[in-house]
Structure 1
């Protein structure tokens, strides 16, 4: 009968330890003197998530281990809404990442990404100037473009080698100009624009060899971010489905622990009454 209580207590103890790590990471990011816009963008979600998991875990742990029916009820109440929210997020993630993808380029190993291929809620958020300022700052701070450089036996990568590379959506959209611009390859993040056959793509005029600018303001960069988000959200959705299955299992076990607590609470007065009746009365002389 107590197995469900012990299991729920153990699970919540482990999630409590996890919440300490998450909360500590958020506090660490907020305390850094040289905080970048990207780190500031991440710190508050980490703090909120960590604090929420900590409170829920403590309620579940105390409710299960100390047979506190109210705390266990509160834990199950919050868990129910978490499960519903997770189901909603899984459906939402698949809905907003339904459209878009990279287009193949003739004689190239990488794909090109176009903003016009995407639509809906996620696209509107990415192209919004306020959101894009934070996103582009994150891309710049991550140094994904400077890290593209390769060499073979001390020899820099050639144009032919580069054209056959499998680039990530952000590398393709943000770190190089669109192929239609016709710019001449110098290295991974530098292109000769003097003899380029500038195409109709507006991103051709937005490209800059300035390593702090590159194509961070290009539509292709925004499309690359959308392409990367689509991949990431699909992977996260698969993980969320697995997490959802475990949450449902733990919720059922928690319900069993809750019923066990209520049954024991209801049985205590009855058991005490039986023990009182069973005691032999003293004979008074």
Structure 2
């Protein structure tokens, strides 16, 4: 039974090693085949994650199965740091996503979004000019508004109002209802010169396909709503991952004690494991 923990750590780390291979391959594929700058932006983090998992898995595998005590100690130390990191990231994700929600509009199938409703930390990230220019480029390249226009071609105003738009579609592809613009199509609206509105988004709107409302506060808010939803899902996954890490760490501690006991027995009896 004492050796069961060593074998279990070895099996778990072998599975992690197998998992690291497709992650690493995916990162390399993105760096070589990514069609847009947004896709290629992910290649380095994915490659780093794949390499990290592979190195840690090898250390745990060799340390437990080959009874290399110092290597297993390094493995446990890294695992402890990883547990702390995942815990902090999970708490942070819940804290920064606890604010913000779309505003329900009367007789509309969609919601509208205000940047001020979201956490200050997230607002600062999207209000940074360099950050937003990169995000804006990705949104244009993703053709989120072009796809909406193709889907709702020749749709009447009444039917458009009944559409269930995503946060990005509502925030980036159309002006706010409060602007009072005249409807032409899903992504074409005529400014009404007689309507005075202090909402800066109304001035930012442009019918050009690469402009629309991509510079609007509502577009940034729509993006943050997407991020909020995604981060909450990631946080739930992190909780499951954290439980898994704690179990592996606990089993690894048992394997480490086994190694130390074997080392101590070998020194006193001359036994070579």
Common fold: TM-score over 0.5: yes
Measured in 1, the distance between the counterparts of 2:10 and 2:144 equals: 42
Counterpart residue number, 1:280: none
1:250 to 245, 248, 251: 248
Aligned-residue offset at 1:232:
1.1
Measured in 2, the distance between the counterparts of 1:134 and 1:107 equals: 35
Measured in 2, the distance between the counterparts of 1:20 and 1:127 equals: 37
Counterpart residue number, 2:128: 128
**Deviation digits for residues 90-141 of structure 1 (CA, Å, limit 9, x no counterpart):** 1111111222221111111111111122242121011101111121122222
> Are 2:10 and 2:60, in contact at CA under 8 Å, matched by a contact in 1?
yes
Counterpart residue number, 1:65: 65
Please state if 1:55 is matched with 2:55. Answer: yes
Counterpart residue number, 1:234: 232
Q: Give TM-score scaled by structure 2 length.
A: 0.90
Unaligned runs of 5+ in 1: 274-285
Change (3 A) 1:91 1:68: same
Measured in 1, the distance between the counterparts of 2:180 and 2:50 equals: 48
Deviates more, 1:91-100 or 1:34-43: 34-43
Q: How does 1:117-196 map to 2 (within 5 A)?
A: 117-148=117-148, 149-150=150-151, 156-193=154-191
Please state if 1:38 is matched with 2:14. Answer: no
Change (3 A) 1:188 1:7: farther
Looking at CA atoms only, which structure, 1 or 2, has the larger radius of gyration? Answer: 1
Runs of 4 or more, structure 1, over 6 Å off, are none
Q: How does 1:246-285 map to 2 (within 5 A)?
A: 246-272=244-270
Measured in 2, the distance between the counterparts of 1:257 and 1:196 equals: 77
**How many residues of Structure 1 are paired with residues of Structure 2 in the alignment?**
269
What's the RMSD between the two structures over aligned residues? 2.0
Counterpart residue number, 1:18: 19
Measured in 2, the distance between the counterparts of 1:62 and 1:157 equals: 63
Measured in 1, the distance between the counterparts of 2:163 and 2:11 equals: 48
Change (3 A) 1:47 1:156: same
**Deviation digits for residues 235-284 of structure 1 (CA, Å, limit 9, x no counterpart):** 111111111111111110111111112112222344546xxxxxxxxxxx
Measured in 2, the distance between the counterparts of 1:147 and 1:271 equals: 75
Measured in 2, the distance between the counterparts of 1:65 and 1:42 equals: 34
SS at match of 1:78: helix
Deviates more, 1:221-230 or 1:6-15: 6-15
Please state if 1:28 is matched with 2:26. Answer: no
